[in-house]
Amino acid sequence: MPGRACSRLVPRLCGAVRQQLMPGHSTAIATSAFLHKQVFSTEADASQKVEESMDFPGGKVPFTKKLLMLGGPRSTTPPMSCYRTADSTGTDIAGADVPHQINHALATKMYSTMAALQTVDTVFYEAQRQGRFSFFMTSAGEEATAVGSAAALTLEDTVFTQYREHGVMMWRGYTIQQMAHQCYGNILGHGKGRQMPIHYGSKELNFHTISSPLATQLPHAVGAAYALKLEGKQACVGVYFGEGAASEGDFHAAVNFASTLSAPVLFICRNNGWAISTPSTEQYRGDGIAGRGPSYGIASIRVDGGDARAVYNATAEARKIAVANSCPVLIEAMSYRSGHHSTSDDSSRYRTADEMNRWRARDPVMRFQNLLLANDWWDPQQEKDLRLSLRKEVLKALEAAQKEPKAPLSDMFTDVYKEMPWHLREQMKEAMAHVKAHPEACPSDIPVR
Amino acid sequence: MISRCFRGISALSRHSCSLILRGLSTASASTSEKPETSRINLCTAVNEALAIALENNKRALVFGEDVSFGGVFRCTAGLLQRFGKERVFNTPLSEQGIVGFGIGAASLGCTSIAEIQFADYIYPAFDQIVNEASKYRYRSGGEFNCGGLTIRAPYGAVGHGGHYHSQSPEGFFTHVPGIKVVMAGGPADAKGLLLSAIQDPDPVIFFEPKMMYRTAVEEVPKGEYTIPLGKAKVKRKGTDITLVGWGQQVAVLEKAAALCLEHHDISCEVIDLRTLLPWDVAAVEDSVNKTGRLLVSHEAPITSGFGAEVTATITTRCFARLESPPARICGYDTPFPLVYEPIYMPTARKIIDAVQHSLKY
């Protein structure tokens, strides 16, 4: 209405005003030449001009004479709906949007990857318990979130993760052997044994090294996406994080930067209900993570993280939007952390067996298997063979990793800088001399050179 | 304080002209030619370096708060007009976002030149600097790095800055393996050091002495040149005591040295470290082996300041040569005060007293 009124009153104003109808819209900010101007309606009495909106530097906002609060504990607005294409048993939901169908080959690859992920999770967890390496984290219950989303990304898309997304890496080609090497911290492992187990990375497969601090990777992803945009690449960045990490300041900084600077990032949140022992009810009070997106100007979707096909479709659509518009998209995949936080955690201390059993009954891998079975793309013999061969492969990988030495002592001092500065050369000499004087001081699997 | 500094700087600019020509490597001039210079201030010198970086590298970006209109100190003036809004741009008001974004862009090969508006506000980015930028290369076994990142921040006392516009936080960052820390002491050094920092294959924090943006004026070579990181500069030769400082404190040391000679016949050698991490231990060691005495001075509070690192290292290496205990003339262990600034500061007067005390030991 203000636009129409204006076109009768002031034709020149009209164009600029219409461009400013959406507060916060980027073209409105770019073209705004007005500061603190008021738009008048001609329908009012000539002696009482009714001001209908105000042009703030951030865009036009309409006035109201009602004193009404939006949101908060008394709000009746329902939470954002959760998109799914199959129910908890894996049975198709009639009429569900599935713009990206999954064919036989893709479904088999997705399922096999999820099965491999489950095997790694089970056997590596046991290996840690046996003292073969110091630490491990599983992703039980979240296989569909990882593999479903990864399947919709390409190797040209750069990926940043938190620590529970090795399904994404495995989809991209990170081998079980590489994972074993990294967990053993041997000379062939990513990072040369400098970091704890599960801190994977791969330049070749375009996923950046994991670090323990939470949410720090979110602003990185925005900078990386900006770089891709500058190069004119038809690619995006996918960055993964949990609902707990989304409480960190880096989340706010990242989504705000991505939106303001127009960076093609997919923010993929695994809302698995728990941050170690802290349930989501103690993590946030608003409408989860997806609910925050629109307030940053970001297109957002909530999806059933246990429905691999839904996750795949949501991610594929999000990628299309991000690449075409050079803008961020936020995906919140709802699921459940079926396992403990890590090998240092015993979640029976803070949650009920009943809750865990209820969620295990909705196992995402089983749900996806039902999709394959319903299409006659899978049978029990294939299942048996796959699980057996995977277990063999995982055990073999652990054996091979155990045999490799660690990186030599000098690698404690390399890569701190591109070229080793004089003071590290001196310290390296000191360390070598100390170990030569006291050979028992150096772990036997670290070559002294 | 400012007028004292200005007199010190005039002496500096006359004195350092010849030093500049000796100390530089120019991109194109042969060693027998003097490079053409222009008489500019530190802010303009920084601006020139940024323009050169943007000109030579299409993947260089300059960003931060208020960078588009030229920056609150005018260091980025004119860059948007020359290089466009995709490469010179404002970010939202978030230091952790600015540095995190810079790390990410650098990890994909961009040259990220991030501005933190005042060093006093760098702390929200501390996690990104310490836990991410400094470890990016090491933790990935060299597969990834964010060496293209340079963080610029104005630091230091200005006469009326109080708690939050005066800080010298270099001590926090010299303790972080994996980054480099550079403090410029004048316009010519600032331009050459900044260009080195930007081109350095590791992430660098570059502190600019904000009090000197307008007041420090000297002949600065035109065009591109670099000053190597990790190398200190002997600003004044002397025989009785070695005075070590960095950034805007070097001018105070030079002034104290001039007065020591004039009034007390004491010959001071003044060293500007220029890079704090890694620092040029050999240069200071050589000097103290000659003079037998050391004094380190910085605005930052004395406890755990970088002066402690210099003192401890030199004491170990030159113990037998030392004629007197090393002295540190620094800020007090208080938040940076407003009305008390004249007494808080490590002034030339305090330095002269300490030099005399050292000589009488």
pLDDT of residue A325 exceeding 60, the answer is: yes
Please tell me the distance from the alpha carbon of residue A435 to that of residue A414, in angstroms, as a whole number: 18
Residues of chain B with Cβ-Cβ distance to A201 below 8 Å are 139-140, 143-144
A115: CB partners within 8 A, 6+ apart? A365, A386, A387, A390
According to the model, what pLDDT value does residue B26 have? 45
Contact between A447 and A441 (Cβ < 8 Å): no
Contact between B112 and B99 (Cβ < 8 Å): no
Rounded percentage of chain A residues whose pLDDT exceeds 70: 89
A204: CB partners within 8 A, 6+ apart? none
Only one residue has tokens 């113990």, namely B319
Q: pLDDT tens digits, residue range B270-315?
A: 999 999 999 999 999 999 999 999 999 999 999 999 999 999 999 9
Question: Among A374-378, B4-8, B343-347, which is the least confidently predicted range?
Answer: B4-8
Q: pLDDT tens digits, residue range B22-61?
A: 444 444 444 556 789 999 999 999 999 999 999 999 999 9
Neighbours of A62 (CB within 10 A): 12
Q: pLDDT tens digits, residue range A164-208?
A: 999 999 999 999 999 999 999 999 999 999 999 999 999 999 999
According to the model, what pLDDT value does residue A15 have? 41
DSSP A151-189: TTS-TTSEEE--SS-HHHHHHHT--HHHHHHHHHT-TTS
Of residues B27 and A65, which shows the higher confidence score? A65
Any CB–CB contact under 8 A between A257 and chain B?
yes
Cis peptide before B278 (omega within 30 of 0): yes
pLDDT range class, residue B101, cuts 50, 70, 90: very high
pLDDT range class, residue A39, cuts 50, 70, 90: very low
Q: pLDDT tens digits, residue range A69-117?
A: 999 999 999 999 999 999 999 999 999 999 999 999 999 999 999 999 9
As given in the structure block, the two tokens for residue A397 are: 């990988």
pLDDT of residue A7 exceeding 90, the answer is: no
According to the model, what pLDDT value does residue B7 have? 43
pLDDT of residue A17 exceeding 50, the answer is: no
Buried b / exposed e along A189-219 (16+ C-beta atoms within 10 A): bbbbbbbbbbbbbbeebbbbbbbebbbbbbb
According to the model, what pLDDT value does residue A55 have? 87
A416 and B177 within 8 Å at the Cβ level: the answer is: yes
B140 and A201 within 8 Å at the Cβ level: the answer is: yes
Question: Among A44-58, A305-319, B73-87, B110-124, which is the least confidently predicted range?
Answer: A44-58
Instruction: Report helix, strand or coil for A78.
Output: coil
Q: How far away is chain A from the Cα of B116, in angstroms, using its nearest Cα?
A: 15
Of residues A25 and B219, which shows the higher confidence score? B219
Please tell me the distance from the alpha carbon of residue B195 to that of residue B50, in angstroms, as a whole number: 8
Any CB–CB contact under 8 A between A200 and chain B?
no
Pick from B156, B209, B229: nearest CA to B46? B209
pLDDT of residue B9 exceeding 60, the answer is: no
Q: Closest residue of A to B60, CA-based?
A: A227
According to the model, what pLDDT value does residue B31 have? 54
Amino acid identity, residue B356?
Q
Residues of chain B with Cβ-Cβ distance to A250 below 8 Å are 96-97, 100, 127-128
pLDDT range class, residue A48, cuts 50, 70, 90: low
Any CB–CB contact under 8 A between A423 and chain B?
yes
Active-site positions of A? 126, 212, 341-342
Within its chain, how far is the Cα of A230 from the centroid? 23
Please tell me the distance from the alpha carbon of residue A425 to that of residue A403, in angstroms, as a whole number: 30
A260 and B99 within 8 Å at the Cβ level: the answer is: no
Check: complex ipTM more than 0.85: yes
According to the model, what pLDDT value does residue B33 have? 66
According to the model, what pLDDT value does residue A306 have? 98
pLDDT of residue B191 exceeding 50, the answer is: yes
Please tell me the distance from the alpha carbon of residue B115 to that of residue B72, in angstroms, as a whole number: 11
Q: Closest residue of A to B134, CA-based?
A: A416
Size of interface A-B (CB pairs under 8 A): 146
pLDDT of residue B20 exceeding 80, the answer is: no
Amino acid identity, residue B106?
A
Instruction: Report helix, strand or coil for A374.
Output: helix
Q: pLDDT tens digits, residue range A388-416?
A: 999 999 999 999 999 999 999 999 999 99
Mean pLDDT of chain A: 91
Pick from A48, A114, A132: nearest CA to A369? A114
pLDDT of residue A20 exceeding 90, the answer is: no
Only one residue has tokens 């008489």, namely B39
CA angle (A378, A381, A384) in 5-degree steps: 105
According to the model, what pLDDT value does residue A2 have? 42
B92 and A191 within 8 Å at the Cβ level: the answer is: no
Mutation target vs B (from A257, A412, A419; most B CBs, 10 A cutoff): A257
SS3 letters across chain B: CHHHHHHHHHHHHHHHHHHHHHHCEECCCCCCCCCCEEEEEHHHHHHHHHHHHHHHCCCEEEEECCCCCCCCCCCCCCHHHHHCCCCEEECCCCHHHHHHHHHHHHHCCCEEEEECCCHHHCHHHHHHHHHHHHHHHHHCCCCCCCCCEEEEEEECCCCCCHHHCCCCCHHHHCCCCCCEEEECCCHHHHHHHHHHHHHCCCCEEEEEECCHHHHCEEEEECCCEECCCCCCEEEECCCCEEEEECCCHHHHHHHHHHHHHHHHCCCEEEEECCEEECCCHHHHHHHHHHHCCEEEEEEEECCCCHHHHHHHHHHHHHCCCCCCCCEEEEECCCCCCCCCHHHHCCCHHHHHHHHHHHHHC
A4: CB partners within 8 A, 6+ apart? none
According to the model, what pLDDT value does residue A52 have? 86
Pick from A272, A289, A275: nearest CA to A141? A272
pLDDT range class, residue A14, cuts 50, 70, 90: very low
Please tell me the distance from the alpha carbon of residue A143 to that of residue A270, in angstroms, as a whole number: 11
According to the model, what pLDDT value does residue B32 have? 57
Q: Is A228 exposed, middle or buried (0-12, 13-18, 19+ CB in 10 A)?
A: buried
pTM of this prediction?
Answer: 0.91
According to the model, what pLDDT value does residue B295 have? 99
A78: CB partners within 8 A, 6+ apart? none
Nearest to B143 among A201, A213, A418 (CB): A201
Q: pLDDT tens digits, residue range A111-168?
A: 999 999 999 999 999 999 999 999 999 999 999 999 999 999 999 999 999 999 999 9
pLDDT of residue A253 exceeding 90, the answer is: yes
pLDDT of residue A50 exceeding 90, the answer is: no
Amino acid identity, residue A9?
L
